[in-house]
Structures are given as C-alpha cells and as structure tokens.
Amino acid sequence: MKRLCVFAHWDKDNIIDDYVIYYLKALKEVCDSIIFVSDCDLTNEELKKINNLVEYSISKKHQEYDFGSYKRGYLLAKEKNIDFDELIFANDSCYGPFYPLLPIFKKMEKKNFDFWGLTQNSYGIIQRNDINYPTWSPHIQSYFLVLNKKVFSSKAFNNFIFSIKKEKSKDDIIKNYEIGLSNILKKENFKSGVYINRFKHTENCLASKWDKLILKYHYPFIKTNLIKYGDYFLGEIKNWDTVINSISNYPINYIQKNSQRYNTTYNSKYDNFNKYRKIRFMILRNLPMEFRYITIFIEKFLYQTLNTLCFNKLKKF
C-alpha cells in the first residue's frame, strides 16, 4: 500500500524545529511520500533541513490554518500525479511519536475503515445569534487523519477540499472543517473509527487522560499546547518528561526547547492574563468535574456574549 502524507506546519519564528524533523522522520517510515506545507514564509536554509525527508514542500503564508495546508498539499499531489492508496493528514501540533507508527497502521488496516484517526473529541460547536456554544458532536480529530482511496476519490471529499477558505476564528475552523469533514463523510456512509476508543464520553481525552493514553494505551503523542500553556481543567502539566522517559528514548530536549521558546513569548505578552489563569486553575482543581464543566460553560458564554455586544456596538459607528 502506498501512503502519502500531507504535513501542515506553522511556527511563530518561521523555523522548522527539531521536534518537527523528528516527527517527519517517523512518518517517513510509514509513508512513501510526504508533502510539507507551511503557513509561513520559510527561507531556503530552513527548507534544506527536510530536503531528504519530503518529496515536495510549499512555504507561503495563507492564514487558512491546517486545513488550508491540507488543501494545498492534496491539490499538489493531484497536480504531480502522485500515486497513493492512502492519504494522511498530519500536523505539527504534537510532540512525538514516542512509539513506532507502523504497528498502529497494521492494527487499523485489519479493521477496514474508510477513514480513521487516532482520537475523537465528543464535543463540538453550535452557533446561535453569533454566539458559539458547546454541543454534543463526536468527531475524529484532524491532527492525524487517514483516508483511503474510496474516500479521497469521492465527489464529497473533493467538494469539501475546494470549500476550504480563510475563516474568522478557530471555532469556525473546527465547526466547518474538523467536525464538518467527519459529518460529510459519515453522511456518505463511509466507515470510520479511531485508534483510541476508550474515552467516548470525554470532551478531550488528549488533555484529561494524556498520561494514561501514553502509558497504558501506547498513544504515540502529546499535544504541544498542553505542555506550552497547560489545560483548562488541569493547569500546568508537570511530570510529562518523567512519563515520556519511562517508555521512550525520545529526545526530551526537543520538547523543552520548543515549549520554552513559545512560553517565554506567551508569558511576556499575556502577563496579566497568566495571573488570571493561575488563580483559575487553583479554583478549578478543587471543584468536582461536573462543576468544572459548568464553570467553563459560563465563562465561554460570558466571553461570547460580551464579544458579540461589543462588536454590534462598533458596527453602529
């Protein structure tokens, strides 16, 4: 089976970090071709870092986030007449892999899914009166998504690819593209599944169960934002290096270097907000889980309401 991976990249400093190169090397072990698409204007010196790992690279600011990169990579593959039986969409939002990827592909091949991912998120977004609300909407998460030929050759998938455009917010991207793609493919009766299917009623197991996923279920990644900025419920993740070192020879310094580079900028730019975050985490830690959800729902509601009211007032001027 020939696999093509379209890999989406973005970096605030316009570099290809070491953890990204490590990830690409691991993908090369399971893919015949990799197309690297960056939402950055990278220099030729940066692109030279991955010359031996990717067949093609695109480096141009487009501001359509990961799905904009997926679109560009897929269309380039069609233009270059690359022959492949399986299409992988992956992005640089994860550190890893801490386990080999090949056993995961072998396991999922036996299940004969038309499309699959590593994990699913049980909650989505619904918009009412210009306000986004959380809603029950299980969908495969798009940071690592695998599609067979029947799917990516379908009219529904190709219509979806051409519909991708710049959106106003991250919520719109999640709603229209991450959740949207799962819904479109399910309506076409394509068979779907996930590698980790033990936490169906968890909003996002990548945060709340991150250590259990790695240690017990051999999940190969940890989300970069979890280490850089912490989690809504959990606050700062403190023992991630101990967990990773216990099961893998992954170079921890790659994570340290990248997270510190981002965290330094984040802390200096949002100093007052970070003070609020620390107080908030202390409060949330001492609340039962059901009250944590209620607190965050109220917080999101107030934010969206105030944001909408301010926007509508500004429109009058």
Q: How far apart are CA 167 and CA 127, in angstroms?
A: 14
3-state secondary structure the chain: CCEEEEEEECCCCCCCCHHHHHHHHHHHCCCCEEEEEECCCCCHHHHHCCCCCCCEEEECCCCCHHHHHHHHHHHHHHHCCCCCCEEEEEECCEECCCCCCHHHHHHHHCCCCCEEECCEEEEEEEEECCEEEEEEEEEECCCEEEEEHHHHCCHHHHHHHHHCCCCCCHHHHHHHHHHHHHHHHHHCCCCEEECCCCCCCCCCHHHHCHHHHHHHHCCCCEEHHHHHHCECCCECCCCHHHHHHHHCCCCHHHHHHHHHHHHHHHHHHCHHHHHHHHHHHHHHHCCCHHHHHHHHHHHHHHHHHHHHHHHHHHHCC
- The single-letter code of the amino acid at 229 is Y
Q: Give pLDDT, residue 238.
A: 84
Q: How far apart are CA 160 and CA 294, in angstroms?
A: 34
* Contact (CB, 8 A) for 64 and 34: no
* Contact (CB, 8 A) for 43 and 14: yes
The backbone torsions φ and ψ at residue 193, rounded to the nearest 5 degrees and listed phi first, read -165, 175
* Contact (CB, 8 A) for 54 and 69: no
* Contact (CB, 8 A) for 230 and 237: yes
* Contact (CB, 8 A) for 65 and 37: no
Q: How far apart are CA 190 and CA 186, in angstroms?
A: 5
- The single-letter code of the amino acid at 302 is L
Domain limits, the chain: 3-225
- Beta strands 144-148 and 86-91, pairing class: antiparallel
Half-sphere exposure of 62 (CA within 13 A, CB side): 22
Closest CA to 119 of 89, 141, 150, 88: 141
- The single-letter code of the amino acid at 192 is S
Ramachandran region of residue 235, left (φ > 0), alpha (ψ -120 to 50) or beta?
left
Q: Which CATH architecture has domain 3-225?
A: Alpha-Beta Complex (3.90)
Peptide bond into 138 cis (omega under 30): no
Q: Give pLDDT, residue 170.
A: 81
The reported pTM is 0.83
The backbone torsions φ and ψ at residue 277, rounded to the nearest 5 degrees and listed phi first, read -60, -45
pLDDT in tens, the chain (317 residues): 899 999 999 999 999 999 999 999 999 999 999 999 999 999 999 999 999 999 999 999 999 999 999 999 999 999 999 999 999 999 999 999 999 999 999 999 999 999 999 998 876 566 655 655 555 567 899 999 999 999 999 999 999 999 999 998 888 888 899 999 999 999 999 999 999 987 655 556 788 789 999 999 999 999 999 999 887 656 678 899 999 999 999 999 999 999 999 986 444 444 454 555 556 655 665 666 556 666 666 766 665 666 555 544 333 33
Q: Give pLDDT, residue 207.
A: 83
Q: Give pLDDT, residue 177.
A: 93
